[in-house]
Amino acid sequence: MPSISMPSKPGPITVMIVDDHEVVRRGIAEVVERTDGMTVVAEAGSVADGVRRAGLVRPQVMLVDLQLPDGTGIDLMRAVRETQPEARAIVLTSFDDDDALAAALEAGAAAYLLKSVRGAEITDVVRAVAAGRTLLDERTVTRRKAGHEDPTENLTPSELRVLDLIGEGLSNREIAERLGVAEKTVKNHITSLLAKMGLQRRTQVAAWVASRKHAGWRAEPGH
C-alpha cells in the first residue's frame, strides 16, 4: 500500500531583536519566546552586529530599535535589505516622530510600533508581518503628517526668536533685553504666537519647545 505523505507543519516564525538596551531586548525576547509559533533566533545591540547576525540566521522578521550605538535602525534595515530582501522589519522604538516614521517607510519597514505597546500587540504584529501584511504605508505617513502640521509655520521671524527664548527659560524682561525691544513688544509677540499656535499660556509654549528638543531620534543615543 503506497504511503501517504502528510503535509509538513510550518516551522515557527524566526525573529531577530536589535536593541542596545539588554534589559529591553531580553524583555522583548521573553514575550516572543512565550508566544506559540515564533522563536527568537538572534539578538544584537548594534548595526554592525545586527547585519552580521542577520546574515547568519536569516530571520523572517526583525524587531529593530531606531537608535543604536553605531547608527540607526534605518541603516540596519537598508543594509539587510540589500542581501535579504525577503526579511521583513518592524521598527520598535520610543520615538513617536513623523520623520522617523517616514524614514522607516522608505527603508522598507512593514510596521512601526512604540515601546509603550503591550507585549501581545508586538507578537500580533510579528505574526501579521510574517504572513506578508504591511501595516506601514504612504497613506499612514501622509494621514499622520496632516494631523501633525507644524504650529509655528505662520510665525514671523521675531515671534520665532521669542519662542526660542521662552524655551530657554527667559522672562519677558530678559527677552526684551536680549532683543533690544520694549517689554510690551515682547508681550505683543507672545500674544500673537499663542493665537497662531493654538495655545493659551506661556508655559504651554515652554513645554512645546522642550518636547521638540527631545524629539530628535537621530541625535540622541540610547533610546
Residue-wise pLDDT for 86-125, tens only, equals 999 999 988 877 778 888 888 999 999 888 888 889 999 9
Per residue in 41-83, pLDDT (tens digit) is: 999 999 999 999 999 999 999 999 999 999 999 999 999 999 9
Report pLDDT for 223.
Answer: 43
Task: List the beta bridge partners of residue 170.
Answer: none
pLDDT at 170 (0 to 100): 93
Q: Is 174 exposed, middle or buried (0-12, 13-18, 19+ CB in 10 A)?
A: middle
Put simply, whether the predicted model's pTM sits higher than 0.85 gets the answer no
Ordered structural domains, the chain, with CATH: 13-144 (3.40.50.2300), 157-214 (1.10.10.10)
> pLDDT at residue 222 above 50?
no
Averaged pLDDT, 147-168: 83
CB 29 within 8 A of CB 40: yes
Output the CA torsion sign for 31, 36, 38, 39.
Answer: positive
Residue 37 pLDDT exceeds 70 = yes
Residue pointed to by grid coordinates 513623523:
98
pLDDT tens, 168-205? 899 999 999 999 999 999 999 999 998 888 888 888 88
Share the mean pLDDT of the chain: 86
pLDDT value at 153 more than 50: yes
Pull the grid cell for residue 12: 515557527
Amino acid at 58: R
Task: Tell me the Cα Rg of the chain.
Answer: 23
